[in-house]
Amino acid sequence: MVFHESELEHRVSTIIQARADVRELHSQFPVLPFADDDGVLHEHTFDFYVVFDDGYRVAIAVKHARKQAQILDMFDRIGRHDFSHVADDLRLMTEEDATYEAFYNAHDILLSREHFDEAEYQTTRSIAKRLAGRFRLGELLRGCSHLGARRDAVWQLIDDGLLIPLSSGRISDLTWLTVPS
């Protein structure tokens, strides 16, 4: 169970969950100490803790970009204490990382994972391989018998790296895609 204290945290966690290389995601962990200018010890509770498939561990603070300098200063202070027993890295994610476009794309990937249809996945993959160069996502939807299943298959192929969007931003029927060689 992942908890969110803000809409921005919800966007960040959705984007993290949509990554194919995430093994674990925890909220409100770890709690790491740091000293202020007067040497007084404080603690910071990170918003998320991610363990990747390769074992790499990242503590993530979610804040608005306007607080970046303050948070990076705190990271420097935390770094003066040994935190290697808990995390390999500290990261800040802001609204610039968790855009609405990235959130909606991640949301669609997560939804598609709940509706895997092997036959539709293989059919869509076969069609995509036959299309030369770049093509619009909508081309993969043309003439299909079940639009929802086909759209899920497209998102699953994007998730698996077998279809690559050629631009950033919200993925739609007009997005240019390619099949990696």
User: What are residue 2's phi and psi, to 5 degrees?
Assistant: -110, 130
Q: What pLDDT shows up at residue 133?
A: 92
Q: What is the per-residue pLDDT across 130-141, written as a single tens digit (0 to 9) for each? A: 997 999 999 999
Asked if residue 32 lies in contact with residue 43, where contact means CB atoms within 8 angstroms, the answer is yes
Q: What is the per-residue pLDDT across 66-113, written as a single tens digit (0 to 9) for each? A: 999 999 999 999 999 889 999 999 999 999 999 999 999 999 999 999
Q: What pLDDT shows up at residue 108?
A: 97
Q: Which two tokens stand for residue 48?
A: 């998320």
Q: Is 102 left (phi over 0), alpha (psi -120 to 50) or beta?
A: alpha
What value does the mean pLDDT of the chain take?
Answer: 95
Q: Which two tokens stand for residue 109?
A: 């990937």
Burial of 180 (0-12, 13-18, 19+ CB in 10 A): exposed
Q: What pLDDT shows up at residue 46?
A: 97
Q: What pLDDT shows up at residue 4?
A: 79
Q: What pLDDT shows up at residue 37?
A: 92
Helix intervals (H) in the chain: 7-17, 68-79, 100-113, 118-130, 147-159
